[in-house]
Amino acid sequence: MSESSGNIEDPVKIELFRLVLKTRMTEDRIIALYRQGKIVGGVYTGRGVEATTVASALALEKKDYLFPIHRDLGAHLAKGQTILNILLQYLGKGNNLTKGKESGIHFSDRSLNIIGNISHLGAMIPVAVGVALSLKLQKQNSVALNFIGEGGSNIGDFHEGLNFAAVQQLPFVLIIENNQYAYSTPVEKEYRARYLSDRAKGYGIPGYHIDGTDAIKVYQTVKEAVERARSGKGPALIECKSFRMVGHSAHDDAFYVDKELRKKYEKKDPLIKLEKYLLKNNILDHDSVDRIRQEIAEKIEDATEKAIESPLPDPEWAYGAIYASNSDRMAYGD
């Protein structure tokens, strides 16, 4: 665990652990529901990248804007989303936040300043940059934080968005979750650079390459970049190197993944790593870990029961409104 982790207070470290564990356990339940045939459509989990997603989102304040992507259940939870809302979303229920219109964790929440992604993940970068522009123009002292995979970082929007954010010195932080595979494509077929964070130089902004399995290190680095952005010093690019411990989605057995690489990263499992660190440094004892696990298990049980009992959408909703009316409540920040 990070050398310089001393300046993060213990309650934050415990919260990181609680959220990484909650993410892992919630995703395990989602996979179980998928295998039982209760979830239709794809399931994309973040096993192996939870330290990156959780710690980045936890580094934000409530008023800051979060743009998670399809694997970032941990970021939703860290920004305050409930397990119930996530399960309702996966189950396509009528009382979820998209009224059954959207799949997986592609959903927004006005009350938490979360903006859900479209499947062209890189396309969210200019949108997040626009939110940052808007926050700057309205002098809101808030920051927009956006995730992208190392795969998605190769789309043109990455360049257009980051360049514009740099030119305008916007309060914007872009996290690259480098989990080393874009579906089945390994990094050597994705880019030539040693570090993706080196691209930051081309935009005249700071770039960081860090261990994305180290929750405390991610929290520290992102917190610093977020506060720097908040103070008007402009955007940052942070590459968090981790490993996708499962297939691209629940149907994919990932036979193509390098065996040695998998072995190496199994030892760096972000959950086990953080738990060991907390136990070793007497920040938590075994009893407290068990208690946290038990609390989360109860929450998941309760949410699953409620989600399964929830009503499906009314077929009439397929004819749902395409246009907002001029009396519609405007989006964020009112």
Partner 1 sequence: MATSTYLEAINQALFEEMERDESVFLLGEDIGIYGGAFKVTKGLYKAFGGDRVIDTPISESAIIGSAIGAAITGLRPVAEMQFADFITVGFNQLVANAATLYYRHNIPVPMVVRAPSGGGIRGGPFHSRNPEAWFFHQPGLKIVAPATARDAKGLLKSSIRDNNPVIYFEHKYLYRRVKEELPKEEIVVPLGKANISREGDDVTVITYGAMVFECLDAAKKLFEEHDISAQVIDLRTLQPLDMELILQSVQKTSRVVIVHEASLSGGIGAEIAARISEKAFEYLDAPVKRIASLDTPTPFSPILENEFMPNAEKIYNAILEIMKF
Rule CB under 8 A: which residues touch partner 1? Answer: 65, 97-99, 101-102, 106-108, 110, 115-116, 118, 120, 123-135, 137-138, 144, 156-157, 160-161, 163-164, 167-168, 320-326, 328-334
Q: Is residue 24 flagged as an active site residue? A: no
The one catalytic residue in 24, 71, 209, 248 is 248
Cα–Cα distance, 279 to 286 (Å, whole number)? 7
Helix (H) or strand (E) holding 296: helix 286-309
Residue among 162 and 210 whose Cβ is closer to partner 1 = 162
Residue among 16 and 170 whose Cβ is closer to partner 1 = 170
Beta strand ranges found along the chain (DSSP E): 65-67, 144-149, 172-178, 181-182, 185-186, 207-211, 236-241
Q: How far is the CB of 155 from partner 1 (least distance, A)?
A: 9
Residue among 65 and 90 whose Cβ is closer to partner 1 = 65
Q: Assess contact for 160 and 186: CB atoms under 8 A.
A: no
Across-strand partners of 209? 239
Which token pair is 19?
């959220």
The one catalytic residue in 256, 277, 319, 323 is 256
The one catalytic residue in 47, 70, 199, 244 is 244
Q: Is residue 44 flagged as an active site residue? A: no
Backbone phi and psi for residue 185, each to the nearest 5 degrees, phi listed first: -90, 120
Q: Is residue 244 flagged as an active site residue? A: yes
Q: How far is the CB of 132 from partner 1 (least distance, A)?
A: 7
165 Cβ contact list (under 8 Å, min separation 6): 129, 132, 172, 174, 203, 205, 234, 235
Q: How far is the CB of 271 from partner 1 (least distance, A)?
A: 31
Residue among 101 and 223 whose Cβ is closer to partner 1 = 101
Q: How far is the CB of 143 from partner 1 (least distance, A)?
A: 12
Cα–Cα distance, 273 to 244 (Å, whole number)? 16
40 Cβ contact list (under 8 Å, min separation 6): 92
Q: Assess contact for 193 and 199: CB atoms under 8 A.
A: yes
DSSP of 129-179? HHHHHHHHHTT----EEEEEETTGGGSHHHHHHHHHHHHHT-SEEEEEEE-
Residue among 116 and 149 whose Cβ is closer to partner 1 = 116
CA 177 to chain CA centroid, nearest Å: 9
At residue 119, the 3 state secondary structure works out as: coil
Residue among 123 and 187 whose Cβ is closer to partner 1 = 123
Catalytic residues: 244, 248, 256
